[in-house]
Structure 1
């Protein structure tokens, strides 16, 4: 059994360990990526590209001074949202399940990973609803605060000019504050999806447990969010521009078509890889947080107490014990 040194309890350690697990089961994660993450990447890119390439063609009709939206205007975004959410939930369940078992050195198989969707889907959905509900209340509190401040100023005799620079700066300040609050909760709740999959908890319970586990590792959680958030965001922007260029050009020759297809496919492949490694790294972060709180050693002891000895003798597939040293 390999020993991971104490200094790996940082961002580099999380990324290194997640890369080790993915490489050790490369064909398995490739199959999951092709099944879920590649369609997800295409969905993230193609719909906004179609919207940007023809912004006026949204099934909108005007009669006089009134503008009417046909049902297709609402149906297509709804279908798109459902497809993206289903793909992301399935990808999250299967990749988290596989990374969790790969960390322990257990056999990682394709069909058991797919089976995990059945047990993880509703806990993930209910946890998402709980988190969104809480964040909605926070956002509502900010809007109510802004409304009260504005009305209070008007009642005190001040004239509020909604087009003035001062009012715009006030709105920008509230927007930045709200964004920082949302980022904070994203940091402390980042492990909630992993907990929903691995511990079968749902609702608010994964949120509270995530905030407990992430204590002492908030900087790593924040770094993980920022690194992959920037990478995925920039790559989505680049891919969207690439596919948008593909969509708006009318006069194609064969070489332009081949070159643009290769470039767009490469962008989508890298976006899929980023999504895969982010999900795997978040699962490894969960394991490291458990190690920091002394839970991982107990689970490994229980693993051997159940005489779980049938591990493959492969250096990349044996479990790693994370050692925490207090200085």
Structure 2
């Protein structure tokens, strides 16, 4: 009896895990090239650029009323480098998972070469998404401004107390509505990076395409975002705390040094695994959304001349037919 991959969170996670295990050495190489430096950069930033003590801040502000350009160089370089590495990791892992889903050969050099064609679509799609989110935020701010202005125009009837509980609750409700709107668009645009890599679309087009494909699978996208978002957030926090508390031990053979090294290495390794599985799971979700809309069967029919998804298991040479069903 052939196994059935249902269109739910468990099916997405199990299929992404299977693809990673099938090409374990390939994904290990990508993780060492991109995800490990990215994880190290994220958790080690507080130690590389520690906050300025309070007395130094007061002294700096007294002598230099404006922030010097030199203090912005390191954060700028750090942000650009981290963003570049994250784009490379996203593009290569998505590319590999996409081809691994079809059972195609997955090799390191063609994967790295694919960055030439996927970098610009990823950047343009990210900028388009940020632009729309900024417009949404500005719309909420304009709404608050209009409401406050209208109330102030009726000064003889109403007097605004900015410290009152009513005004604080009003701002809280607006903030909650903005958060929910941002979360909604993050859900429906979650497949945009995958579309930019696999379909070579760019700009606003991947966003509209993602909103169409995710229809009917929004709960799975939300669950995927909550599960990995919370786990990655907790592990980043633990990694930052661990690296910040790392002390230099004179004797590298002492148990304190060994314990600190083991703890930091374990946290970084698990963070790399979380990032890897999240990117792969999001790519599998994209494939399942295409299956739900009837697009996957046509692609499989064109490539394999059959209406089933051929997924290789541990042995790449023996294909197994897996029927994708809705559940």
Alignment TM-score, normalising by the size of structure 2: 0.89
**Cα distance between partner residues in 1 of 2:164 and 2:320:** 61
Aligned to 1:324: 325
Aligned to 2:16: 18
Aligned to 2:275: 275
Is the 2:312–2:320 contact (alpha carbons within 8 Å) kept by the matching residues of 1? no
Deviations 1:34-64 (CA, angstroms, capped at 9, x unpaired)? 1000111111111134455655578982336
Tell me how far 1:218 sits from its aligned partner. 0.6
Aligned to 1:5: 4
Does residue 299 of structure 2 align to residue 299 of structure 1?
A: yes
Is the 2:23–2:106 contact (alpha carbons within 8 Å) kept by the matching residues of 1? yes
Aligned to 1:256: 256
Structure 1 residues 150 and 325: alpha-carbon distance in aligned structure 2, compared to 1, 3 A threshold: closer
Give the SS at the match of 2:60: strand
Is the 2:192–2:206 contact (alpha carbons within 8 Å) kept by the matching residues of 1? yes
Does residue 192 of structure 2 align to residue 196 of structure 1?
A: no
Is the 1:60–1:67 contact (alpha carbons within 8 Å) kept by the matching residues of 2? no
**Cα distance between partner residues in 1 of 2:17 and 2:313:** 19
Deviations 1:238-266 (CA, angstroms, capped at 9, x unpaired)? 111111111xx477663322211211111
Aligned to 2:93: 95
Give the SS at the match of 1:167: helix
Aligned to 2:132: 134
Structure 1 residues 60 and 230: alpha-carbon distance in aligned structure 2, compared to 1, 3 A threshold: farther
Greater shift, 160-169 or 94-103, is seen at: 160-169
Tell me how far 1:171 sits from its aligned partner. 2.0
**Cα distance between partner residues in 1 of 2:180 and 2:321:** 35
**Cα distance between partner residues in 2 of 1:106 and 1:321:** 16
**Cα distance between partner residues in 2 of 1:108 and 1:83:** 27
Q: How does 1:158-197 map to 2 (within 5 A)?
A: 158-197=158-197
Q: How does 1:184-263 map to 2 (within 5 A)?
A: 184-246=184-246, 249=247, 254-263=254-263
Give the SS at the match of 1:68: coil
Deviations 1:128-155 (CA, angstroms, capped at 9, x unpaired)? 1111111110000011111111222222
Is the 1:130–1:203 contact (alpha carbons within 8 Å) kept by the matching residues of 2? yes
Structure 1 residues 187 and 251: alpha-carbon distance in aligned structure 2, compared to 1, 3 A threshold: same
Is the 1:127–1:206 contact (alpha carbons within 8 Å) kept by the matching residues of 2? yes
**Cα distance between partner residues in 2 of 1:117 and 1:58:** 42
Deviations 1:69-116 (CA, angstroms, capped at 9, x unpaired)? 121222122111111110110001100000000000001100111011
Greater shift, 313-322 or 141-150, is seen at: 313-322
Tell me how far 1:324 sits from its aligned partner. 2.6
Give the SS at the match of 1:323: strand
From 114, 117, 131, the equivalent of 1:116 is 114
CA RMSD across the alignment = 2.5
**Cα distance between partner residues in 2 of 1:238 and 1:178:** 29
Structure 2 residue runs without a partner (length 5+): none
Aligned to 2:105: 107
Is the 1:297–1:321 contact (alpha carbons within 8 Å) kept by the matching residues of 2? no
**Cα distance between partner residues in 1 of 2:129 and 2:89:** 19
Tell me how far 1:316 sits from its aligned partner. 6.0
From 60, 68, 71, the equivalent of 1:70 is 68
Aligned to 2:26: 28
Structure 1 residues 313 and 278: alpha-carbon distance in aligned structure 2, compared to 1, 3 A threshold: closer
Greater shift, 72-81 or 8-17, is seen at: 72-81
Tell me how far 1:315 sits from its aligned partner. 4.0
Is the 1:154–1:160 contact (alpha carbons within 8 Å) kept by the matching residues of 2? yes
**Cα distance between partner residues in 2 of 1:269 and 1:313:** 25
